[in-house]
Amino acid sequence: MDSYRLPGHKIATKSAGTGEIPDVLIVGDSLFRHFRLGDGGSFPIAFRSDTRPSADIYKTGFQRKRLVVDWLDTEYADSSTKTTRKRLDDARQDIAASVPKAMKGRPEAEIRTEVARVTNELERESVALRVGNVDLDVETAVCATLDFQIASLFPFDPKALAASFAKPTSIYVVRMRHWLETYKVQRYAAPHLAYAREVASLGIPAHDVLGCLTVGRRYLPETNSVEVWVISAEVNAATDGEAIVKAVEAEYKTPVTVATPAQKDADSAIDVDEKVRHIKSALTQLTGNPDSTGLVRDRNVITGGSTPRELPDYKPVEKASGRRLSQ
Coil, helix or strand at residue 104: coil
pLDDT of 35 reads 81
pLDDT of 18 reads 39
| Identity of residue 81 | T
pLDDT band at 327 (very low <50, low <70, confident <90, very high): very low
Distances (CA, A) of 237 to 57, 139, 209, 242: 13, 29, 10, 8
What DSSP state is assigned to residue 271?
B
Report the candidate in 105, 316, 100, 58 with the shortest Cα–Cα distance to residue 207. 58
Least confident span in 15-19, 172-176, 260-264: 15-19
Report the candidate in 286, 246, 20, 284 with the shortest Cα–Cα distance to residue 130. 20
β-sheet bridge partners, residue 258? 226
Strands 301-303 and 24-28: unpaired
Coil, helix or strand at residue 87: helix
* 33-72 tens-digit pLDDT: 888 776 666 788 999 999 999 999 999 999 999 999 988 8
What DSSP state is assigned to residue 98?
H
* 173-213 tens-digit pLDDT: 999 998 998 988 888 887 777 778 999 999 999 999 999 99
pLDDT of 312 reads 64
pLDDT of 2 reads 61
Query: Percent of the chain at pLDDT above 90?
Result: 46
pTM assigned to the model: 0.84
Across 80-84, 85-89, 232-236, the highest mean pLDDT is recorded for: 232-236
Report the candidate in 128, 172, 145 with the shortest Cα–Cα distance to residue 27. 128
Strands 33-36 and 301-303: parallel
pLDDT of 20 reads 46
pLDDT of 262 reads 67
pLDDT band at 6 (very low <50, low <70, confident <90, very high): low
User: CB neighbours of 50 closer than 8 A, spacing ≥ 6?
Assistant: 57, 62, 170, 172
Average pLDDT on 278-282 reads 82
State the average pLDDT for the chain.
81
Is-contact 70 212, C-beta < 8 A? no
Least confident span in 99-103, 147-151, 229-233, 312-316: 312-316
